[in-house]
Amino acid sequence: MDSRFERIIRQNQLKTYAVLCVYIAIFVFIGLLADIIRLNSESLQDGFYLLLTLQEFPLITFIMGVVAFGVIMYSVGQFSRIMLSGNEYKRINPNLVLSRRESTLYGVFSDLLRSANCPFEPALYIIEAPYMNAFASGWNEKNSMIAITSTLLERLKEDELKAVIAHELSHIRHGDVRLTMCVGILSNIMLLGVNIFAFYFSGSNSQGARVARNILLVLQFILPLLTMVLSLFISRNREYMADSGAAYLMRDSEPMIRALQKISQDYAQNTYIEPNPTRANAYLFDTSEILSTHPSIQNRIKSLLGQRF
């Protein structure tokens, strides 16, 4: 079992970072096209050559990078607070007197950390909510957190609860929150840049500038679809990885399978209003019916069973 889940995690990791490299390449490409328009280059080839050899400083590309970095740094400081908003919540502090449910949750949590030889301890929260779900947040291990809804805590068996926590812990260990945050920010900046730069520097009428502008105009139509497909690909691969990570830590895939079945059945039988749409894509179970950021429950279970789909 160990080698199978390690292989799944490794394969999905490679796929995900390959897509991230594509994201970064597109981001830089858009910035360079804008710089070619700014410089009014005689040809596209000459513009790329001058910019890539730094004979001309890629100012717009640099500014886009600085903006992306600034937005990411701001988001790092605010992300966990934003994710927790919308419901009453409580952080579990083992140094204080715990209620029965808090004690149960922390016991399962600490046992998992010990069995996983985890060198860090994420902050642990209970969110008061009528639905069964969970999510992880945090830029790195030092500011990481795991949140479990009260209903999930009440309705899952101990091994199923442990599997859910293992799933969220795997997200943290794999750097998923950091990755999805960067991808989301890069996507928005790219889309904004394409819309602006296609009509900016209207006085640049050289052949190179015209070609660069035409490419940006085409990207206005292609890029939204492309970024959506790539984002869904990354998100779904990270869910498969986290499921496999949970099964690997548990040394058994059955608790994760049962937890997924119970959560999906609960959502199938009830209609819930999510008070914080920001965290919808971070949940263990995504309720979106169209263009879901998560694989189907059927495919996740097949993956946990080692079956092709």
The catalytic residue positions are: 168
Q: Is the dihedral of CA 138, 170, 302, 20 positive or negative?
A: positive
**Alpha carbon of 114 to those of 107, 213, 293: distances in Å?**
11, 56, 31
**Alpha carbon of 260 to those of 22, 51, 239, 281: distances in Å?**
32, 50, 12, 16
d(CA 185, CA 79): 13
Residues 149, 167, 286: CA angle, nearest 5 degrees: 60
Question: What size, in residues, is the chain?
Answer: 309
Residue 137: Cβ-neighbour burial (10 angstroms; 0-12, 13-18, 19+): buried
